[in-house]
Amino acid sequence: MTGGTVDGPLLRGTVLPGGGDWSSTRGDVCQLDARYLLRAEDGVVIDIVNRGYYHEAGDSPEQFDGDLQVSAPGVYYRTSPVFRTDAPAHLWLARTVFVGLARASDPEAVFIRMYALL
């Protein structure tokens, strides 16, 4: 993993170099396991474990959040990130369940739109 950014209304930061992505394929379903660190704007480092599934599903519609494309047509690419931190300003992350809709934005990058389940 080479880095990236997080840009949202409640959290902004930079994905630190390192971490890793692992996958295992069973039939046509790819099970994903990504682990990485995020340095939040306030300097706090947050550990993220993001697991999910990827498979081509001909009936999966393209999905948008406003004008932003969050999933590609014909592809099921979903994650369930877990944030680990003891930093008081970010405890809400460790106490919330999230789901992510993902899409490959180019051959070297993945875009994940994460939603908190309230």
75 versus 29: which is more confidently predicted? 29
Backbone phi, psi, residue 62, to 5°: -65, 140
In 3-state terms, what secondary structure has residue 11? coil
Whether pLDDT at 70 is above 90: no
Amino acid at 73: P
Query: What is the number of domains present in the chain?
Result: 1
Whether pLDDT at 106 is above 90: no
CATH of the domain at 89: 2.40.160.20
Let me know the angle formed at the C-alpha of 34 by 105 and 26, rounded to the nearest 5 degrees.
Answer: 90
Whether pLDDT at 14 is above 70: yes
Structure tokens at 68: 């932003």
End-to-end CA distance of the chain: 30
Q: How confident is the model at residue 105 (pLDDT cuts 50, 70, 90)?
A: confident
Residues in the chain: 118
Amino acid at 28: D
Q: How confident is the model at residue 1 (pLDDT cuts 50, 70, 90)?
A: low
CA 87 – CA 115 distance, rounded (Å): 21
Residue range of the domain that includes 55: 4-117
Whole-number percent of the chain with pLDDT over 90: 64
The pLDDT of 36-63, averaged and rounded, is 90
